[in-house]
Structure 1
Amino acid sequence: MRRRAIRIQVWVNDDENAKLEMSAKKTGLSRESYIRSLINGYVPKEMPSPDYFTMMRELHAIGNNLNQLAAKAHVMGHLDRGIFQQEAEHLRSVVQQIQQAVTAPEPRNVSQGSSSVHPP
């Protein structure tokens, strides 16, 4: 285990503290770990949404089903096309859901200082 024997104390104002707290919370790291990451040249990524973990479990389950089908096809010498097509379609559907969740634009939050452009 890595030992840290040097303590550094830094004074920040309320705004800086709020930014640090918010940034660390978004990543799931403690303030100290967040700062250490920055010092070491890494900008921590925000934690993915809970949907990400649900989608990943779904992909793992589909992959497991496809592996089982492949193993069965290898032993029996043929593939049940209906079941394979069903799993392949399920995979395509989940991939589309992931793409939508990751790439689709989200509505801007007005409180984030957006410029106001109103249609005539």
Structure 2
Amino acid sequence: MRKRPISFLLRLSEREYAHLMKQVEKTKLPRETYIRALIEGYTPKEMPPIDYYVMIRELHAIGNNLNQLAAKAHATGHLERAVFQEEADRLRRAVQQIKQAVTEPERRKE
């Protein structure tokens, strides 16, 4: 048995349908999932750009390296300052790139 046994017909104008499909495309969700989210009181977010996932992977890698350095420093009582500084700088650069990608305005395409 289906989880959602009730279906109904919804009639839209061409303009309404085009608007709906434009919003659905931005989220990369199936149309039905998008509409269900709206019914439940949620506004689905747009799919983040591909760069977002690259940046998140980079932050995870940096965090992992810093964690390993902290564990080694705790175990040995010695912190490799040069390596730590390199990872801290890498983290700073990654955060700066994310800020640029997310907050800086983009030139309009004409």
Tell me if TM exceeds 0.5: yes
Within the alignment, does 1:86 sit opposite 2:74 as a pair? no
Q: Deviations over 1:29-64 (max 9, x none)?
A: 111111111111111000100000000000000000
Within 5 Å, which residues of 2 pair with 1:1-120?
Answer: 3-110=3-110
CA-based RMSD of the aligned residues comes to 1.2
Matched residue type, 2:87: E
Q: Which amino acid aligns with 2:76?
A: M
Output one character per residue of 1:50-95: Cα deviation in whole Å (capped at 9) or x when no partner.
0000000000000000000011111111100000000000000000
Which ranges in structure 2 are unaligned for 5 or more consecutive residues? none
Q: Which amino acid aligns with 1:33?
A: T
Q: Which runs of 5+ in 1 are unaligned?
A: 111-120
Relative to the length of structure 2, the TM-score reads 0.94
Identity across matched positions, percent = 60
Structure 1 stretches of 4+ moved >3 Å: none
Question: How far apart are the structure 2 equivalents of 1:59 and 1:39?
Answer: 35
**CA distance in structure 2 between the partners assigned to 1:32 and 1:83 by the alignment:** 50
Distance 1:77 1:25 in 2: 53
Q: Distance in 2 between matches of 1:39 and 1:3?
A: 16
Q: TM-score, normalised by structure 1?
A: 0.86
Which range is displaced more, 5-14 or 65-74? 5-14
Number of matched pairs:
109
1:68 is aligned with what amino acid? Q
Report the AA paired with residue 75 of structure 2: V
How far does residue 21 in structure 1 lie from its aligned partner after superposition?
Answer: 1.1
